[in-house]
Amino acid sequence: MARVRLQNLVKQFGTTEVIRDVTLDIADGEFVVFVGPSGCGKSTLLRLIAGLEQATSGTIYIGDDDVTALPPAKRGVSMVFQSYALYPHMDAYRNISFGLKLPDACTESVDQRVRRVAEKLQISDLLDRKPRELSGGQRQRVAIARAIVREPRVFLFDEPLSNLDAALRAQTRLEIARLHDELSSTMIYVTHDQQEAMTLADRIALLDKGRIEQVGAPTELYRQPASRFVAEFLGSPAMNILPAKVSGGDALLATGERIAVNTHYSGPADIGIRPEALTQASQGEPGTVQARVLHIEDLGESRLLHAALSDGTVVAARYFGAAATPSKGERIAFRLEPHDLHLFGEDGRRI
């Protein structure tokens, strides 16, 4: 088990910079999720740590060792691939044991080790099957077993759940979380799925265009997004963004309505508010925003309401439980509580 430190990491493919000056400290035993839109460099960052790509500049430490120039096998990391990458012609047992070299000091035999790991992942009775005879979820377990069996210092996961169907994905997500509790080893996990990131991570590193946009606990990123990009990336449906002019604790929205804000800033700003923070108010109340209901989606435990403001901007609001939901076409008013608002300046940074 080890901490991982990335220092001023840069990766260029030809002239395109894929990773731009990334510095990150991952504590021993931490579960860090790299998340971001496709092409943000999250997979490349993981591959740099794995040693499958060579950094253009910068340093990677695992434990106290500078591993920047070491080949993958010497780094003490193991990886679970998106496509599982099981050897098709070997049975599960061979897949797990192939390439397993135990140190001389180890009292356990290869066979014992394989069977113990198989036990842990509940694949003991699948060991003589070839990958093609296994279901997607079972293949995933074999791939994880292959990563675990070497008892690496750091586990790397490259979108391990994206080939599974929704139900299996939720289940496997839970198992990965359990596995992390059990092994208490450092894990780095790449995904484009914000739900996976929110549920699994101790800390999320949100990447955009090769840079780390924000690092922090999931709730921190959700509640205190450092930029408009972070605010819009996390949360589904995305945060509502209303352009406004702010001055003297007052914001003039593009719709012409005025609402109160908690800031001394003055100038143009984007005001963000989460769908669940939009509450319905009675018509004509001061500090509210007028809207017309366009569409309602009933999700069972909540209802999503899409409404157009007077300037045409569409916002989403979430209604929970027994709260009365207006009907389609109805004119309603939303209250925007100052403490629910996120303000972003013209550069997209939080104010």
Partner 1 sequence: MRGLLKNAGLFLACLVLAVFLLFPLYYAVITSLKSGSELFQVSYWPREFDLTSYARLWTEQNFGRNILNSIVVATSVVLLSLALALTAAFALARVRFAGRGLLLYAILGISMFPQIAVLSGLFELIRVLGLYNNLASLVLSYMIFTLPFTVWVLTTFMRDLPVELEEAALMDGISPLVILFRVFLPLMAPAMAATGLLAFIAAWNEFLFALTFTLVNEQRTVPVAIALITGASEHELPWGSIMAASVVVTLPLIALVLVFQRRMVAGLTAGAVKG
Q: What does the H/E/C string look like for the chain?
A: CCCEEEEEEEEEECCEEEEEEEEEEECCCCEEEEECCCCCCHHHHHHHHHCCCCCCEEEEEECCEECCCCCHHHHCEEEECCCCCCCCCCCHHHHHHCCCCCCCCCCCCHHHHHHHHHHHCCCHHHCCCCHHHCCHHHHHHHHHHHHHCCCCCEEEEECCCCCCCHHHHHHHHHHHHHHHHHHCCEEEEEECCHHHHHHHCCEEEEEECCEEEEEECHHHHHHCCCEHHHHHHCCCCCCEEEEEEEECCEEEECCCCEEECCCCCCEEEEEEECHHHCEEECCCCCCEEEEEEEEEEECCCEEEEEEEECCCCEEEEEEECCCCCCCCCCEEEEECCHHHCEEECCCCEEC
Exactly one of 71, 103, 256, 300 binds partner 1 (CB under 8 A); which one? 71
Select the span of 80-88, 225-233, 238-246, 271-279 touching partner 1 (CB under 8 A). 80-88
Confirm or reject binding of residue 61 to partner 1 (CB under 8 A).
Answer: no
Q: Identify which range of 6-14, 95-103, 215-223, 277-285 contacts partner 1 by CB under 8 A.
A: 95-103
Minimum CB separation from partner 1 for residue 52, in Å?
A: 5
Is the Cβ of residue 89 or residue 295 nearer to partner 1 in the bound state? 89
Binding mask 150-169 for partner 1 (x = CB under 8 A): x-------------------
- Least distance (Å) between residue 338 CB and partner 1: 50
67: contact with partner 1 by CB under 8 A: no
Q: Please report whether residue 81 would count as binding partner 1 according to CB under 8 A.
A: yes
Smallest gap from residue 163 Cβ to partner 1 (A)? 10
Supply the minimum distance, in Å, between the C-beta of residue 230 and partner 1: 31
- Answer for which of 131, 216, 235, 272 binds partner 1 (CB under 8 A) is 131
Residue 92 in contact with partner 1, rule: CB under 8 A:
no
Q: Give CA separation, 349 vs 51, 143, 229, 257, 345, in Å.
A: 33, 40, 9, 24, 6
Binding letters toward partner 1, positions 31-60, x by CB under 8 A: -------------------xxx--------
Based on the shown chain and the rule CB under 8 A, indicate whether residue 1 belongs to the binding site for partner 1: no
- Picking from 50, 51, 54, the residue whose alpha carbon sits closest to that of residue 19 is 54
Total interface residues for partner 1 by CB under 8 A: 28
Residue from 79, 187, 200, 271 in contact with partner 1 (CB under 8 A): 79
Nearer to partner 1 among residue 84 and residue 344 (C-beta): 84
Least spacing, CB of residue 152 vs partner 1, in Å: 9
Q: Is 256 one of the binding residues for partner 1 (CB under 8 A)?
A: no
CA separation for the pair 282, 333 (Å, rounded): 6
Told to check if 103 binds partner 1 by CB under 8 A, we report no
Is residue 14 a contact point for partner 1 (CB under 8 A)?
no
Q: Which residues bind partner 1 (CB under 8 A)?
A: 50-52, 71-74, 77-79, 81-89, 98-101, 131-132, 139, 146, 150
